[in-house]
Amino acid sequence: MTAPVFLPSHVVPPEGMATWSAPDATMPSAPLDPLLPVQVLERRGDWALALCSNGWSAWVDGRLLLSIPRDPPSAAQPAARTADPRPLLGAAEGALVSYRQLVEELAAGQLDRQSFAERTRGNRIGVVVDGDAIWLYDARHERWCYCDGVSLQTYAVGSRPSSRSGEDEMPATSQSATPPPGEYR
């Protein structure tokens, strides 16, 4: 009987990454080395079961793994869809318009400070635009996303991984934390 072939699908981020013995943030394990190739065997929400070439496996925050590019699809296969940045741009725009309206009401004396604080509590908006690149904070999934104008990719996360799976998750092809060309990590 031959052992299954190890076929890496992802690489650990350059700074390495934490692991857990189960998809539970209270059960930490040994960290993975930077740029270590791994094969994702299973996903549970934000969690990914990563298999290393030596046979050791552990659960990791799958949002942070860097995808290893595959050959482009053949002519018979449609290209994989990447996450559309427009819904997240629209959500950021709407949140900013609402916040600005509350600021206007506060400045005009139509709203007191306490009401302003109550009506803005929990709001999170993050947008950084630099030429053709944009970083958007996705408050719903507690992550920063990078957009090159065409596709959206998870860049950094602000929370521990979750076991809940959402129907509105980005497609697996765009969940890697690949930094834009020339950017720091």
Q: pLDDT by residue (tens digit) across 126-149?
A: 887 777 778 788 877 777 777 877
Rounded CA separation 179/185 (Å): 7
Give the torsion sign (CA, 162, 163, 167, 170). positive
Indicate the average pLDDT of the chain.
77
pLDDT > 70 fraction of the chain, expressed in percent and rounded: 74
pLDDT band at 179 (very low <50, low <70, confident <90, very high): very low
Per-residue pLDDT for 7 more than 80? yes
- Whether the pTM exceeds 0.75: the reply is no
Structure tokens at 181: 């060309």
Rounded CA separation 117/102 (Å): 10
Using left for φ > 0, alpha for ψ between -120 and 50, and beta otherwise, residue 38 falls in beta
Count of CB atoms situated within 10 Å of the CB of 99: 14
pLDDT band at 155 (very low <50, low <70, confident <90, very high): low
Query: pLDDT tens-digit profile of 97-120?
Result: 999 999 999 999 999 999 999 999
Rounded CA separation 87/185 (Å): 26
List 119's β-bridge partners, or say none: none
The DSSP element (H or E) to which 157 belongs, if any, is: strand 152-157
Q: Which domains does the chain carry?
A: 10-63 (2.30.30.40), 86-174 (no CATH)
pLDDT band at 82 (very low <50, low <70, confident <90, very high): low
Count of CB atoms situated within 10 Å of the CB of 87: 12
Grouping H, G, I as helix, E, B as strand and the rest as coil, residue 183 is coil
Least confident range from 36-45, 121-130, 137-146: namely: 137-146
